[in-house]
């Protein structure tokens, strides 16, 4: 009984400490991180209100299609718009018709498709998946220049037709593309409203691999990969929980099994791309999960990509994934996860590496203004 009481007290205390670790997400790029904003009123969502909600997905390749399939299966919105470039128009029309013909099994009343952004008008959420994918063996960072050009073409159109939308970036390299989308939106666009899918997929891969090694349900593994959605990602072993139990005791070193699990997480995308040429279903499920959090204003905690300058001793103007609460306005608050000195140092290294790739694009953009 005594032991049980101690456990309860420990968890109540640690909840309070964790709660104090939240930092409000500033609404505008220029507001310093330390400022706090009044909590935004929670949207009311009576049953069936999703019908008034509109999602646009830009980029109807493998990932875009994976997103649409998951969104439709989960009855998240009433209207869905699909956008791709003009040369892909015929395929786009075919995909839209195929999804429309499943109307007996989902509740999305309207599915639109076009290469023109007027179909995206007044979207509540815009999801950007357009861009070049990796070839087998290619890193995400190597896509940066090609996909920066594509992002440059897309963002003005998105903002023209849906200036109030929350925007989710999936295109790789996801963290730099999210930073770029924010820069293109300008300093007056509420900062948290543009976020990247970050390491939500990497964290799911981590959950699955740990669960597999322990013969458990992945949904009982709680923990995050943070930092870059890519090769320099950081597993926060110090806060992984199995059910309510910590995976590691305080000070317990990370052993070779855990290191191998992290390596397997990093290798996951390369592995699937080698096997089938692309990844799409797991990211589609991740996107639908986040879309539901936005449209239902759920305040769901997920590791998504947001500006981390000023956090964890990071000085560079970079976006990385950290656990955030996600609602209708995108990232509403950033959770300040306690890190060990090693985890913090690895995150800082990841930030520096990303900044080296991002810097030339920033210099180019700044010289144009």
Ligand X SMILES: NC(=O)C1=CN([C@@H]2O[C@H](COP(=O)(O)OP(=O)(O)OC[C@H]3O[C@@H](n4cnc5c(N)ncnc54)[C@H](O)[C@@H]3O)[C@@H](O)[C@H]2O)C=CC1
- Which helix or strand (DSSP H or E) is residue 175 part of? helix 174-185
**Closest distance of CB 72 from ligand PYR, Å:** 21
Assign 247 to helix, strand or coil.
coil
User: What is the full DSSP assignment across 46-61?
Assistant: -TTGGGG-EEEEE--S
Residue positions annotated with a catalytic role: 229
Given ligand X, ligand PYR, none, residue 147, with its beta carbon under 5 to 8 Å by kind, binds ligand X
State yes or no: 62 annotated in a binding site: yes
CA angle 101, 102, 105 (to 5 degrees): 145
Nearest to 329 by CA among 285, 301, 284, 293: 293
Q: Quick one: which of 140, 183, 193, 292 contacts ligand PYR (CB under 6 A)?
A: 140
Given ligand X, ligand PYR, none, residue 281, with its beta carbon under 5 to 8 Å by kind, binds none
**For residue 335, what are the contacts with CB-CB under 8 A and spacing of at least 6?**
18, 21, 22, 23, 301, 322, 323, 324, 325
Given ligand X, ligand PYR, none, residue 183, with its beta carbon under 5 to 8 Å by kind, binds none
Q: Quick one: which of 50, 67, 133, 158 contacts ligand X (CB under 6 A)?
A: 133
Nearer to ligand PYR, 180 or 283 (CB): 283
Q: How far is CA 165 from the centre of its chain?
A: 16
**For residue 212, what are the contacts with CB-CB under 8 A and spacing of at least 6?**
218
State yes or no: 172 annotated in a binding site: yes
Query: What sign for the dihedral angle of Cα 293, 298, 299, 302?
Result: negative
State yes or no: 170 annotated in a binding site: yes
Q: How far is CA 246 from the centre of its chain?
A: 25
- According to DSSP, the β-strands at 319-327 and 300-307 are antiparallel
State yes or no: 348 annotated in a binding site: no
Site for ligand X, residues 239 to 278, rule: CB under 6 A: 278
Assign 187 to helix, strand or coil.
coil
| Backbone dihedral region for residue 135 (phi beyond 0: left; psi -120 to 50: alpha; all else: beta) | beta
Site for ligand X, residues 277 to 296, rule: CB under 6 A: 278-279, 283
Q: Contact between 233 and ligand PYR (CB under 6 A)?
A: no
Q: Quick one: which of 80, 236, 269, 361 contacts ligand PYR (CB under 6 A)?
A: 269
- Residues 82, 64: contact at Cβ < 8 Å? yes
Q: Contact between 88 and ligand X (CB under 6 A)?
A: yes
Q: Contact between 210 and ligand PYR (CB under 6 A)?
A: no
Q: Quick one: which of 65, 155, 201, 209 contacts ligand PYR (CB under 6 A)?
A: 201
| Backbone dihedral region for residue 165 (phi beyond 0: left; psi -120 to 50: alpha; all else: beta) | beta
Nearer to ligand X, 60 or 126 (CB): 60
Nearer to ligand X, 278 or 362 (CB): 278
Site for ligand PYR, residues 156 to 175, rule: CB under 6 A: 172
Given ligand X, ligand PYR, none, residue 239, with its beta carbon under 5 to 8 Å by kind, binds none
Given ligand X, ligand PYR, none, residue 235, with its beta carbon under 5 to 8 Å by kind, binds none
Contacting positions for ligand PYR (CB under 6 A): 134, 140, 172, 201, 269, 279, 283
Which residues contribute to the annotated binding site for NAD(+)?
Answer: 59-64, 84, 147, 170-172
Contacting positions for ligand X (CB under 6 A): 58-64, 83-85, 88, 129-134, 143, 147, 150, 153-154, 170-172, 174, 197, 201, 229, 278-279, 283
């Amino acid at each position: 009984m005594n032991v049980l009481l101690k456990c309860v007290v420990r968890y109540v205390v640690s909840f309070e400490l964790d709660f104090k670790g939240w930092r409000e997400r500033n609404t505008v790029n220029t507001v310093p991180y330390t400022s706090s904003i009044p909590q935004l009123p929670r949207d009311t969502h009576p049953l069936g209100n999703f019908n008034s909600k509109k999602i646009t997905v830009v980029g109807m390749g493998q990932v875009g299609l994976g997103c649409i399939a998951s969104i439709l299966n989960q009855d998240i919105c009433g209207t869905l718009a699909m956008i791709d470039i003009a040369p892909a128009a015929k395929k786009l029309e075919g995909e839209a018709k195929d999804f429309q013909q499943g109307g007996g099994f989902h509740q999305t009343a309207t599915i639109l498709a076009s290469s023109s952004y007027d179909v995206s008008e007044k979207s509540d959420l815009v999801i950007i998946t357009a861009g070049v994918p990796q070839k087998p063996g290619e890193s995400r960072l190597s896509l940066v220049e090609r996909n920066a050009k594509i992002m440059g073409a897309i963002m003005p159109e998105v903002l023209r037709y849906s200036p109030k939308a929350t925007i989710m970036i999936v295109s790789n390299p996801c963290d730099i593309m999210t930073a770029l989308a924010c820069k293109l939106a300008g300093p007056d666009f509420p900062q948290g409203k543009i976020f990247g899918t970050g390491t939500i997929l990497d964290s799911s891969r981590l959950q699955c691999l740990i669960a597999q090694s322990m013969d458990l349900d992945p949904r009982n593994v709680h923990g995050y990969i943070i930092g870059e959605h890519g090769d320099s990602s950081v597993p926060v072993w110090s806060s992984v929980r199995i059910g309510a139990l910590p995976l590691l005791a305080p000070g317990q070193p990370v052993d070779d099994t855990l290191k191998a699990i992290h390596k397997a997480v990093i290798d996951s995308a390369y592995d699937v791309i080698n096997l089938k040429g692309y990844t799409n279903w797991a990211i589609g499920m991740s996107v639908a999960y986040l879309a539901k959090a936005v449209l239902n204003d759920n305040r769901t905690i997920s590791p998504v990509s947001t500006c981390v300058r000023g956090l964890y001793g990071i000085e560079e103007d970079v976006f990385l994934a950290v656990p955030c609460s996600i609602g209708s306005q995108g990232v509403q608050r950033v959770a300040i996860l306690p890190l060990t000195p090693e985890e913090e140092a690895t995150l800082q290294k990841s930030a520096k590496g990303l900044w080296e790739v991002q810097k030339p694009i920033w210099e180019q953009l700044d010289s144009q203004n």
